[in-house]
């Protein structure tokens, strides 16, 4: 484990909150992610299922958590199944968790080997009436790859068809949205590591460097500071590439007079940071670049103040888009007539700003929660206005991570340089 061990009290607390939301006499089932085949005899690096990690803190493959809080046998109230290691496994793959280590990480007393599941499952399931099955219910995501949760759900349905089945995702989503103090500390750590990486690239970027070289500098700083790595595929896009929203090739040369947009964030203990900065390749903004940059920065400042309890992403986006219209007129990119006569289904501003301004952040960079979820204290969201002017090869996006509190908001990236003067000063070689 690269990161500092998380206090098991967080996971104990998370499980207690979860079981309180369910029907009486229920079973909760949470599976680890699969090891995903890469090619030949190789797997992609393992990344734990966020819901399982939230519930027990175990980051090892082939893990299964069963919770039966009303089961007549108390040892089945919480049961964790993990890989049974061997001398051969230790030699070829390294250390796997012992039962005692799993207990210390999760706070779960009853630990079993995963190959004991078949002999215990009947006792556990037949002592319940309701079964909660987990699934990834992120609304904009679909995949042809079937998850372990989905396969296990089909198996349970077939073996025990007379139980009542329920969706676990809505319950755990509601809990994951509002962060505990321990989670906020981990998110702050992820932001701090991201800040260090940005300072590093400010001293590195100059005409002639390749986008992938900037990515390498960021990666080095992340790993050096004990992050898992990148929370998502980093976007390092110079010149015209900055107008491609999800440009991740990162292959081109950064040229004199251009800017480079960098969307990156570290993942520390599975918690994500999400930052975007746009800087001049040669260390000096042109007057036009300054003009557009300050327009985006002004919108960012005003938008953050609107991120308060009671808002939603949809309501927030509507207000930001109104700010955007005014700035695009000032920049000479839109006219008042174009806005007045626009098609409401295809607003004029979308020519230069075609995405939303916010999403939830947590164990996933695009975390659980919908655009109609009401902001409450403890929620963390991005704020990322942008202006893309493809005809001028200018794309500027600025993004900070904002914690909602009962009194307003806290910008977790407030200390990451963003003002033009500060960036130019820090880029002096």
CB 128 within 8 A of CB 26: yes
Active site residue 399: yes
| Residue ranges for the chain with pLDDT beneath 70 | none
Active site residue 41: yes
Active site residue 384: yes
> pLDDT value at position 145?
87
Active site residue 372: no
User: In whole numbers, what is the pLDDT of the chain averaged over residues?
Assistant: 96
**Tokens at 52, concatenated:** 């399982």
> pLDDT value at position 264?
98
Active site residue 346: no
The one catalytic residue among 291, 355, 411, 424: 355
The one catalytic residue among 61, 78, 384, 401: 384
> pLDDT value at position 391?
96
Name beta bridge partners: 132. 28, 166
Q: What is the pTM assigned to this prediction?
A: 0.95
Q: Where are the beta strands (DSSP E) in 155-299?
A: 164-167, 229-230, 235-238, 259-264, 266-268, 271-272, 275-280
Task: Give the containing element (helix H, strand E) for 199.
Answer: helix 181-204
> pLDDT value at position 89?
87
Distances (CA, A) of 401 to 178, 195, 237, 290: 15, 12, 21, 23
Give counts: helices (H), strands (E), the chain.
Answer: 13, 19
* Distance, CA of 19 to CA of 55 (rounded, Å): 11
Task: Give the containing element (helix H, strand E) for 169.
Answer: helix 169-177
State pLDDT tens for residues 127-148.
999 999 999 887 778 888 899 9
Active site residue 160: no
**Tokens at 215, concatenated:** 């990515």
The one catalytic residue among 221, 258, 399, 401: 399
State pLDDT tens for residues 11-31.
999 999 999 999 999 999 999
Active site residue 38: no
Domains, the chain, ranges and CATH? 8-176 (3.40.350.10), 181-426 (3.90.230.10)
> pLDDT value at position 346?
94
> pLDDT value at position 329?
97
* Distance, CA of 210 to CA of 265 (rounded, Å): 19
State pLDDT tens for residues 241-264.
999 999 999 999 999 999 999 999
> pLDDT value at position 35?
94
Active site residue 359: yes
Name beta bridge partners: 237. 261
The one catalytic residue among 215, 267, 274, 364: 274
Mention every residue, 6+ apart, whose C-beta is less than 8 A from residue 310.
374, 375
The one catalytic residue among 149, 267, 388, 401: 388
> pLDDT value at position 429?
81
CB 236 within 8 A of CB 281: no
Distances (CA, A) of 65 to 7, 124, 170, 189: 18, 12, 18, 28
* Distance, CA of 69 to CA of 58 (rounded, Å): 20
**Tokens at 181, concatenated:** 């103090």
CB 113 within 8 A of CB 82: yes
The one catalytic residue among 200, 366, 411, 424: 366
> pLDDT value at position 87?
87
> pLDDT value at position 49?
97
Q: What's the chain's Rg over C-alpha atoms?
A: 24
The one catalytic residue among 151, 220, 246, 288: 246
State pLDDT tens for residues 346-361.
999 999 999 999 999 9
The one catalytic residue among 195, 268, 359, 401: 359
Distance between start and end Cα atoms, the chain: 37
């Amino acid at each position: 484990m690269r990161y500092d061990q998380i206090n098991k009290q967080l996971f104990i607390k998370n499980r207690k909150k979860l079981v309180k939301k369910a029907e009486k006499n229920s079973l909760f089932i949470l599976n680890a992610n699969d090891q995903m085949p890469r090619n030949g005899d190789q797997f992609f690096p393992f990344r734990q299922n966020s819901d399982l990690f939230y519930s027990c803190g175990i980051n090892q493959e082939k893990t299964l958590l069963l919770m039966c809080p009303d089961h007549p046998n108390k040892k089945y109230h919480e049961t964790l199944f993990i890989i049974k290691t061997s001398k051969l496994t230790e030699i070829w793959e390294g250390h796997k968790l012992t039962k005692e280590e799993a207990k210390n990480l999760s706070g779960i007393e009853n630990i079993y080997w995963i190959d004991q599941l078949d002999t215990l499952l009947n006792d556990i399931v037949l002592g319940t009436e309701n079964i909660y099955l987990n699934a990834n219910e992120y609304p904009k995501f679909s995949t042809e790859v079937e998850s372990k949760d989905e396969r296990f759900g089909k198996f349970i349905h077939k073996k025990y068809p007379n139980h009542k089945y329920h969706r676990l995702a809505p319950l755990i989503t509601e809990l994951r949205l509002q962060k505990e103090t321990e989670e906020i500390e981990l998110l702050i750590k992820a932001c701090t590591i991201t800040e260090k990486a940005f300072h590093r690239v400010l001293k590195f970027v100059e005409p002639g460097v390749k986008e992938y070289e900037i990515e390498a500098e960021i990666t080095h700083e992340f790993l050096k500071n004990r992050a898992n790595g990148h929370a998502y595929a980093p976007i390092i896009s110079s010149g015209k590439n900055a107008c491609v929203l999800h440009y991740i090739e990162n292959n081109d040369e950064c040229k004199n007079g251009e800017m480079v947009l960098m969307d990156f964030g570290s993942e520390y203990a599975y918690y994500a940071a999400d930052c975007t900065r746009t800087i001049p390749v040669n260390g000096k903004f042109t007057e036009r670049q300054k003009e557009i940059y300050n327009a985006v920065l002004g919108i960012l400042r005003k938008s953050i103040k609107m991120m308060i309890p009671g808002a939603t992403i949809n309501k927030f986006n509507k207000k930001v888009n109104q700010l955007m219209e005014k700035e695009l007129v000032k920049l000479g990119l839109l006219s008042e007539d174009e806005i007045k006569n626009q098609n409401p289904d295809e607003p004029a501003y979308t020519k230069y700003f075609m995405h939303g301004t916010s999403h939830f952040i947590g164990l996933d960079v695009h975390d659980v929660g919908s655009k109609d979820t009401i902001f409450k204290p403890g929620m963390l969201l991005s704020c990322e206005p942008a202006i893309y002017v493809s005809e001028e090869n200018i794309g500027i996006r600025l993004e900070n991570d904002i914690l909602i509190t009962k009194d307003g908001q806290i910008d977790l990236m407030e200390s990451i340089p963003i003002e033009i003067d500060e960036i130019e000063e820090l880029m002096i070689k």
